[in-house]
């Protein structure tokens, strides 16, 4: 199975602590690396994760609060010092473009590579990226400012060829792709060998949904229905539910409610308030609603499966 992993580089909230870094993740899928959010300290966390700087091909910024984007400019500069030549694609709310342009003119005006900006309409659920192995789409969220999450969907692979059957019927290599596409095989004697005997079904396509800062949204589960792994912010426990509503955040119980209603495979909690010395209370409240809930933590590499 090709790798589909989520590297947690930071899962804290706005106030820096010694326990958690600002928000940042790297999604690794079939040899490609994509960054989600880029808070302060991201470069050090990349070093610790042992992900190669040069392999990051795009950065997705959910919204323009500093704990989600203050690390981007420094990382762009470092890429330049490391001799990067491949373009870096930055997907962010549209009003970030002017700030990024002026900041780069001041601090990063001699780069040997191109930074390609893609403005996002955070109010729409639309596909913003596609290649031969995956798609990425936005998930509109409800925060104090324009904000969206991101949904990574692996494309379905072709069926697997049964080598023993190919050899048994002496099927030429030139016909392999046709059989992967669903064709049967006709022998010299006229016998038709059905495709089901020549192949085995592909593994199910996997998906990962990242829901950054947001109030609880009753309809959010419809946009992340059935994903294998859901990351949903869980800034507060139930005793601070009023704070969650006031500051446009969610409780762990609310995150678990989304996971339950969406029938996801697994829930990751994150974006913890600095008021918690540990997150066991958050985990307990989430598991009362959705048992397959887990805490995210720096240094984790979580397989999407």
Long-range CB contacts for residues 243-246, cutoff 8 Å, separation at least 24: 244/215, 244/216, 245/215
pLDDT (tens digit, 9 = 90+) per residue, 177-232?
A: 888 888 888 888 888 888 988 889 888 999 999 999 999 999 999 999 999 999 99
Res 169: pLDDT: 85
Res 189: pLDDT: 85
Res 198: pLDDT: 87
On the question of pLDDT at 241 being above 90, the answer is yes
Q: What value does the mean pLDDT of the chain take?
A: 95
Do 226 and 277 belong together in one domain? yes
Q: Which domain holds residue 190?
A: 160-197
Do 112 and 213 belong together in one domain? yes
Question: CB atoms < 10 A from the CB of 156, how many?
Answer: 10
Number of domains in the chain: 2
The reply to whether the predicted model has a pTM over 0.85 is: yes
- What is the average pLDDT across 108-131? 97
pLDDT (tens digit, 9 = 90+) per residue, 40-91?
A: 999 999 999 989 988 999 999 999 999 999 999 999 999 999 999 999 999 9
On the question of pLDDT at 293 being above 90, the answer is yes
Do 164 and 264 belong together in one domain? no
Do 33 and 81 belong together in one domain? yes
Residue 297 appears among annotated catalytic residues: no
CATH number at residue 112: 3.60.15.10
Do 32 and 166 belong together in one domain? no
Rounded-to-integer distance, Cα 105 and Cα 125, Å: 32
Do 239 and 168 belong together in one domain? no
- What is the average pLDDT across 22-39? 97
Do 115 and 83 belong together in one domain? yes
Do 283 and 232 belong together in one domain? yes
Res 294: pLDDT: 98
Res 211: pLDDT: 98
On the question of pLDDT at 36 being above 80, the answer is yes
Do 233 and 133 belong together in one domain? yes
Question: CB atoms < 10 A from the CB of 86, how many?
Answer: 12
């Amino acid at each position: 199975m090709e790798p589909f992993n989520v590297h947690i580089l930071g899962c804290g909230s706005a106030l820096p602590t010694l326990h958690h870094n600002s928000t940042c993740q790297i999604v690794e899928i079939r040899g490609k690396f994509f960054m989600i959010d880029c808070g302060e300290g991201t470069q050090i966390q990349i070093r610790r994760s042992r992900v190669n700087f040069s392999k990051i091909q795009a950065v997705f910024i959910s919204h323009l609060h500093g704990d989600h984007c203050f690390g981007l400019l420094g990382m762009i500069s470092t890429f330049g010092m490391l001799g990067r030549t491949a373009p870096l694609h930055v997907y962010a709310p549209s009003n970030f473009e002017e700030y990024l342009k002026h900041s780069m003119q001041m601090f990063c005006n001699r780069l040997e590579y191109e930074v390609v900006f893609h403005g996002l309409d955070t109010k729409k659920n639309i596909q913003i990226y596609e290649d031969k192995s995956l798609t990425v789409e936005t998930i509109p969220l409800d925060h104090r400012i324009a904000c969206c999450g991101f949904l990574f969907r692996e494309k379905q692979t072709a069926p697997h060829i049964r080598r023993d059957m190919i050899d048994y019927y002496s099927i030429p290599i030139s016909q392999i792709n046709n059989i992967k596409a669903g064709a049967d095989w006709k022998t010299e004697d006229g016998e038709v060998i059905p495709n089901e005997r020549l192949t085995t079904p592909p593994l199910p396509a996997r998906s990962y949904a990242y829901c950054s800062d947001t109030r609880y949204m009753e309809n959010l589960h419809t946009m992340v229905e059935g994903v294998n792994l859901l990351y949903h912010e869980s800034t507060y426990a139930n005793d601070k539910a009023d704070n969650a509503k006031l500051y446009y955040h969610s409780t762990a119980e609310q995150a678990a409610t989304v996971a339950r209603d969406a029938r996801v495979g697994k829930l990751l909690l994150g974006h913890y308030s600095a008021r918690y010395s540990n997150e066991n209370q958050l985990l307990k409240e989430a598991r009362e609603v959705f048992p397959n809930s887990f805490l995210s933590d720096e240094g984790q590499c979580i397989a999407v499966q």
